[in-house]
Structure 1
Amino acid sequence: MTLLDIRNVCYSYDGRVNVLDDVSLTITKGEIVGLIGPNGSGKSTLIKTVFDLLRLQSGTIRVDGNDHSSTAARSAAMYLSSNDYLPQFLTGREYTDTLGKLYGAAVDEESLRDMFLRFSMAGRYSDLIEDYSHGMRKKTQLVSALLMRRPLTVIDETLNGIDIEALYLCEKEFRRFRDDGLSILLCTHDFALLERLADRTVFLDLGRVVADAPTPDLVAEHGSLASMVFSHFDTDTRRP
């Protein structure tokens, strides 16, 4: 069943140049999809339109069968941004509890304690977020997503800045999400991670979908995701 359905989306900041140019992609339930592309390719703009943070200018976006701007769609999806701007006046526990209330997801203290322990933040869930390091804030974002367990979780470079142990734990938890029928859109420059984890990879450049195929097929054809991307940059067709 299709969980995220993006059809013919275009977006322009100045009314002249399309940052997104007729972009279409889908994510089915129980699927991990990688989203790659250079800075300025339109990845974050696409994600923000999915969550109605940027108003859709053309095309359609549906989440779990609902219009992306609806309450039902917002409840079905969670967005982890690339920055670590969390409310500093809350503790880690209060932040997670607040998200739980917004999503209608019950988060018991034992599960929260256990998750903080597993992410090497034992005893810190009652501390103010303003006292957290950059890495701890990133891990708090990830902990909240793992506890909310939305049908769709969109991760926009949130894994940058976390330690290798936390990254390994995230990979295990993401696979568990997939096994439970939950889906992830993972935007990252870590191609090796996607080769290990992603069922499909979507390559976006200059606002257009360059490739959208099963990750093993792309690796078999090009040798690696990095080789696919670099060979694309060498083509004359990319130049204006």
Structure 2
Amino acid sequence: MHLLKIDDVSYSYDGVVNVLDHVSFDVEEGAVVGLIGPNGSGKSTLIKNVFDLLRLQAGTVTIDGVPHRTPAAKTRATYLSSNDYLPEFLTPREYLRTMSSLYGIAVDHEQAQELFRRFAMPGRYDHLVEDFSHGMRKKTQLVSALVMRRPLTVIDETLNGIDLEALQIAETEFRRLRDEGRSILLCTHDFAVLERLADRVVLLDLGQVVHDSPTSDLLAEHGSLSAMVFHHLGHEATD
């Protein structure tokens, strides 16, 4: 079953330049899909369309079979953005309580505190976010998603700025989400993470899907995801 279905989505700013040009791909249930592409390729614009942060201009997006703009769809998915913006006047406990109330679910504070301990933030669950470093805020975002455990989690460069140990823990937890039948769309420039984790990789460039293939096939053909991307960009430069 397709948990996220993006069908023929196009988007332009001021009606001049197509940032997205007839983009279509799916994220299946129980899968990790990598979304990669050069800066300016349309990745963040696509994600904002998925979450109705930008009004869809053309095409359709469904989450778990229902239109993405409906409350039912929005409660099925969570979005971790590339910035580290969190309400500084809240503690993580208060933040998770607020988020869980919006989703209509109960929050497991014991699980959250255990994740804080594993992410090397013991005792910080009841401290104000304003005192947190960039890396701590990123890890708080990750903890929120891991506690909420929505059917679909979309991550837009949230892994930037966390330490290697935290990255390893995050990968372990992402595999656990997948094993539970949940799905992740992971947008990152860290190709090594995707080589270890992603079932499939979508390469977006100039607003179009260039590749949508199993990670194993791309690695067998190119040796690495970075080689695949550079090969593509090299052809683009000479065409």
Which TM-score bucket, shorter chain as reference? Answer: over 0.9
The code of the aligned residue for 1:132 comes to: F
* Paired position in structure 2 for 1:171: 171
Partner SS for 1:204? strand
Question: Which runs of no fewer than 5 residues in structure 2 stay unpaired?
Answer: none
Any stretches of 5+ residues in structure 1 without a counterpart?
Answer: none
Could you give the per-residue CA deviations for residues 183-217 of structure 1, whole angstroms, max 9, x where no partner exists?
00000001111000000000000000000000010
**Matched residue of 2:232: which SS?**
helix
Call closer, same or farther: CA 1:143–1:193 in 2, change over 3 Å: same
- TM-score, with structure 1 as normaliser: 0.98
How do residues 12-91 of structure 1 correspond to structure 2 at under 5 angstroms?
12-91=12-91
Once the two structures are superposed, residues 73-99 of structure 1 have per-residue CA deviations (whole angstroms, 9 ceiling, x without a partner) of 000000000000100000111001111
Whether the 8 Å contact between 2:108 and 2:147 is mirrored in structure 1 is: no
CA shift, 1:222, in A, is 1.0
In the TM superposition, what are the counterparts of 1:133-148 in structure 2 within 5 Å? 133-148=133-148
1:237: Cα distance to partner? 6.9
TM-score, normalised by the number of residues in structure 2: 0.98
- Superposed CA RMSD in Å reads 1.0
- Cα distance between partner residues in 2 of 1:147 and 1:61: 25
What secondary structure is seen at the aligned counterpart in 2 of 1:217? helix
Contact 1:232/1:238 (<8 A) preserved: no
Q: Give SS of 2:171's match.
A: helix
**Counterpart-to-counterpart distance in 2, 1:82 and 1:108:** 25
Q: Which residue type is aligned with residue 192 of structure 2?
A: A
Deviation at 1:48, TM superposition (A): 0.2
Percentage identity across paired residues of the two chains: 68
Q: Output aligned runs, 1:1-240, within 5 Å.
A: 1-236=1-236
Partners of 1:238 and 1:64 lie apart in 2 by: 41
In 2, the alpha carbon distance for the partners of 1:222 and 1:113 equals 42
Helix, strand or coil: the match of 1:86? coil
Number of equivalenced pairs: 239
TM-superposed CA distance for 1:105, in Å, is 2.2
